A and B are shown apart, each in its own frame.
Chain A
Amino acid sequence: MIHARIRSALLLLALASTAADTRAIDGVVVIGHTNIKRLDAPTLARIYTGRVIEVDGVAVTAINANAGSEVRTRFLQMFLNQDEDKYTAYWTVRRYIGKGASPREMGKSSDVIRFVTSTPGAIGYIDAADLQPGLNVLLR
């Protein structure tokens, strides 16, 4: 009886953990202009590290959330496997080896959505809670 309860408790814990993981993965949604098809995670990482500037012949313009914001922290962790310090340091070096500047930053999800929907080739990410119908979801 006791063993059964323990098993049930562990199962519940496992399910709760899985649910929490799912929420974390769903926490950030990558959106893009309608002229961009779905992306895979490695390509997305290369875009946000400046190593890819076009996808399937379409020039891409990446948008970042503000440095230190929660959504950016989650994005970096999920898709680039980096933290803010490493990412900032990466772009600091990249800028000063003449390989360009980090993606432009926008503070609000509404600004990201407006820019992405109106700019061909634009890519951004938003909190899943801000996702609106009709947006072109590239990765989540």
Chain B
Amino acid sequence: MIDLGPPSFLCCRRIFTTMKAASFKTGTCVRLRSLSWLFSLSLSISACVVSLEVEAADYSISGYGTLGFAQTDKPYAYQRFVDDAGTFRRDSIAGVQIDAVFDGQIGATAQLRLSPASDNDAKYRATLAWAFLSYRPENDWLFRVGRQRIPLYLYSQNFDVGATYDFARLPTEMYSISPNNEMDGVSFSRTWSRADDEVVLDGFWGRSKSDVRIWLRDGIAGVQNAGSMFRRLEADGGGIALSYRQSDSTFRMSVSRVAIGERGGNSSIPTTFPFVSIAPGVGFYQVDPSLPGPGIPTIRKFDFTTLTLGANVNIGSDYRIISEFARTNVPETALSTQSTRGYASILKRIDKWTQYVTIAFLKSQSAPLDLHASVASTVVPPFVPNAALINAAQRIGADQVLAFDQRSLAIGTSYALSPTSKLKAELMHVRIGQVSSLVDAPPGSNIRNQGINVISLSYSVVF
């Protein structure tokens, strides 16, 4: 989810206004203030198209929504919002999309989405999820410029649209590589079609903004509040995805590489926390520059490489297997999400019902897990000056390491009320190993080796 300021809504209003009109006679380009140059470029192109008085041959408006309820058996939150009180915030979402086609080859798509804010746990926010121009010069080539979805997963493009798949919730273990899945950039798609199958190569390059949520179970009075905090990041880079489709089955793989840094001001990202030895067997980690120590090594940006594999296979008799796997590699800092993750599902369709069983896992590599364990377990004895402060800082430092060690088993069902609406229900058991940044650990405690049961009910529709 992207934090959009007023300029984005300006763009949104413009697209809505222009697409609603049957003919376009606007010659003035909208001045954009602070969006990325590519997004500006796409809208400028749009304005130019408009200024040429090109009539929209066809346009259509559609919408989607999910009303989802989820509840766990634990008092602390899982996936930001879900606890034993139950919530609609985790899975409820709505959006509206406009598709316009100019002369068959040039099109424009915009999608406005209402969902929980990416930088605030208490707010909902409308964001411009898509705003791109597409150019399809012939059957097998497609080019896009503007805000679009990064093709990381099997369900990258439509994961907000619950009516288009049977899972109550796409496995979070897999679908949490990035908190934001949109970019402002360019992409191409080349298709090689044969009678019974096709190969598609997608490539993209762009820039994205995201807000990484960090949960601090404990604070330090007057210094740092406990609770959620958000790190504002930006990434630029690109990747490719190769898909093979045969009949009713799809196989795909993707590789992407982006450079990530903090946005606004000077980017300074810790690579690790150095250990400060006070006496033999006694010491602490310098998790903040204000603590004594040699200084925290930082970098301005780090490379984030992601490899994904996916398959959605019809194995006959109305059975289907869907599976994805990802490996993220972040060699330059131990605080980020270098991990292995994936899931495997088997689905069985019986008329309008589809039942499924899913197993999923998410495990960080040893560097972040070891750093988290070391920092979290560090306690200096009371005779050390400011021991309480140092110990509290250790817990805060540990919580800033994005570390995951969890797996889950889910059984669920969906019922197709119509081709455009589904009712879904799911029971899931999540098993935490050492730690998981998807869980808001309770104050003064940890979530090691705990189990969380989650029940989810939802209704999804498109119109």
Is B one of A's binding partners? yes
A residues neighboring B (CB under 8 Å) = 42, 46, 51-54, 59-61, 84-86, 88-89, 92-93, 95-98, 100-101, 104, 121
The reply to whether B195 and A59 form a contact with Cβ atoms under 8 Å apart is no
Residues of A with C-beta under 8 A to B420: 88-89, 92
Decide: A101 near B60, CB < 8 A? Known: A59-B104, A96-B164. yes
Residues of B with C-beta under 8 A to A84: 419
A100-B134 Cα distance, complex, nearest whole Å: 10
The reply to whether B419 and A121 form a contact with Cβ atoms under 8 Å apart is no
Residues of B with C-beta under 8 A to A93: 158, 164
Decide: A53 near B130, CB < 8 A? Known: A96-B97, A98-B148, A101-B60. no
The reply to whether A121 and B148 form a contact with Cβ atoms under 8 Å apart is no
Residue from the list B62, B105, B138, B191 in contact with A95, Cβ < 8 A: B62
Residue from the list A52, A54, A92, A96 in contact with B157, Cβ < 8 A: A96
The minimal Cβ–Cβ distance linking B354 to chain A, given in whole angstroms, is 12
The reply to whether A96 and B462 form a contact with Cβ atoms under 8 Å apart is yes
A95-B158 Cα distance, complex, nearest whole Å: 9
B103 at the interface (CB under 8 A from A): yes
The reply to whether A98 and B157 form a contact with Cβ atoms under 8 Å apart is yes
Residue from the list B58, B195, B416 in contact with A104, Cβ < 8 A: B58
The reply to whether A97 and B58 form a contact with Cβ atoms under 8 Å apart is no
By size class, the interface of chain B is: 35 or more
* 30 pairs from A and B in contact (CB 8 Å cutoff): A51-B139, A52-B139, A53-B138, A54-B139, A59-B105, A60-B104, A61-B57, A84-B419, A88-B420, A89-B419, A92-B420, A92-B462, A95-B62, A95-B97, A95-B99, A96-B64, A96-B97, A96-B158, A96-B161, A96-B164, A98-B109, A98-B130, A98-B134, A98-B144, A98-B148, A100-B99, A100-B107, A101-B60, A101-B99, A121-B104
> Interface on chain A toward B: helix, strand, loop, or mixed SS?
mixed
The reply to whether A92 and B107 form a contact with Cβ atoms under 8 Å apart is no
Residue of B nearest to A42 (CB): B195
Residue of B nearest to A86 (CB): B419
CB-contacts of B39-62 with A (<8 A): 57-58, 60, 62
B214 at the interface (CB under 8 A from A): no
Residue of A nearest to B107 (CB): A100
Residues of B with C-beta under 8 A to A100: 99, 101, 107
A59-B105 Cα distance, complex, nearest whole Å: 8
Residues of A with C-beta under 8 A to B193: 46, 51
The reply to whether A97 and B157 form a contact with Cβ atoms under 8 Å apart is yes
B163 at the interface (CB under 8 A from A): yes
Residue of B nearest to A95 (CB): B62
